[in-house]
Amino acid sequence: MKVVIIGGGASGLVASISAALNGNDVTIIERNNNLGKKILITGNGKCNYWNSDQNISHYHSNNMEVLKKIETDENRLKVMKLFDRLGLVPRIKNGYYYPYSNQASAVQTSLIKEAKSLGVKVINDKVNSIVYHDKFVINMENGIFNADKVILATGSKAYPKTGSDGMGYDFAKSFGHSIIKPLPALVQLNGVGNYFKLWSGIRCDAKVDLYDNGKYVDTQTGEIQLTNYGVSGICIFQLSGKIARNIDKGKREMLKINFLPFLNLNKNEFITWMNKRNNDLLNRSVSELLDSIINYKLSNLILKLSGIDKDDKWNKISSEKKSLLVNNLLEFNLEIESTKSFDSAQVCTGGVPLDEINPTTLESLKQKNLFIVGELLDVDGDCGGYNLGFAFLSGLIAGNGVNN
């Protein structure tokens, strides 16, 4: 069969390999000059391509029951066998898989070489429309191409510099699919406040609790980056998809940040701890008592927001101001106004609903012989190799599915 894959990213490349291994005549149509362009920027150029912890809780979708039928142990084993076929030797750190060379190009190159060795052809052109008349007619800027089966692997709207402009959603809609509104995910957050310049550039470990309209939602712990617009960092990214969806629904999103999670103290215990520290370290200002446990720029800001002069002595501070200081250190309230745009997002939340595709083959339930993979689907994962892992897994399923 003549199989055409629209998009030559991670999911498209894997789909082409899988379809070619099944004896099909496979062509990738990719608008960029290079295949797998987005792979090169993943994992800060090291390409975190998989995670040993494949618990379904690391993925997010509006239809988790269908996702469970896609994210199976059998399908994950097929992905692991693909890695062996590609010759990828992993460097595994805390469950995160990187190529042992720590170079994203190793993953990109191995995929491209395997596809081309199997006879996969590549056309560098932009697809304008796809119609179906017994066969698929693919209208490109520089010609027309026909196909028996089409796999949509165009990516989402995230990071459009790599060519992800959201056109795949339009293709899916033209065949009757609905689209759950795509929103930025794994992205930085814009906060509400006028003090961000004072903490910009600080990195610190923190525990971050997310509240949605005052109701607790989730907790993440790890390094956060304090910026001139709000917050960033992996644990912020993990929460950003939920935040984007809730803000879009008109809800109020609040982060409560514990800047001293390593102390593992509640508010009363922290007061006791500070009393002891003050007794042990004589003639120290409150700012000096906080030295070595928190960045001085951050402690000075928190003292200022608590109405405390950095030169004040602990015993001279009122109980009310001490209480406010403890709140700002252990439960700093940061209201989130918005996420950064698609330009900054690693992935999107939303896309083609999973109940509109066959979970066994990823064939469209709206259009026979049309398959949808990767970020076009309503699936997004946590940081840690999950999104690239889903790209590989979905590409494999669709590439096998074209022969069913």
Q: pLDDT tens across 225-264, in order?
A: 999 999 999 999 999 999 999 999 999 999 999 999 999 9
Same domain? For 198 and 326 the reply is: yes
Same domain? For 202 and 169 the reply is: no
15: Cβ–Cβ under 8 A, 6 or more apart, which residues?
A: 5, 151, 153, 371, 373, 394, 395, 396, 398, 399
pLDDT at 163 over 80: no
Q: Across the chain, which distance is largest between two alpha carbons, in Å?
A: 86
Same domain? For 135 and 83 the reply is: yes
- What pairing do the DSSP bridges indicate for beta strands 2-6 and 25-30? parallel
The tokens 């995160």 sit on which residue? Answer: 96
DSSP tag of 119: T
Same domain? For 76 and 6 the reply is: yes
Contact in structure between 153 and 115 (CB atoms under 8 Å): no
pLDDT number for residue 44 = 83
Same domain? For 356 and 299 the reply is: no
Query: Rounded CA gap, 330 and 306, in Å?
Result: 13
CA–CA distances in Å: residue 187 to residues 302, 325, 369: 25, 29, 34
Determine the 3-state secondary structure of 341 from DSSP: coil
Number of domains the chain contains:
2
Last residue of a domain, one of 314, 339, 364: 339
Same domain? For 96 and 241 the reply is: no
Q: What is the CATH number of the domain that holds 390?
A: 3.50.50.60
Q: pLDDT tens across 19-61, in order?
A: 999 999 999 999 999 999 999 988 888 999 999 999 999 999 9
Same domain? For 139 and 266 the reply is: no
Q: Where does 249-382 have alpha helices with state H?
A: 267-280, 286-290, 296-305, 319-330
pLDDT number for residue 208 = 98
Domain that holds residue 333: 188-339
Same domain? For 179 and 195 the reply is: no
Determine the 3-state secondary structure of 156 from DSSP: coil
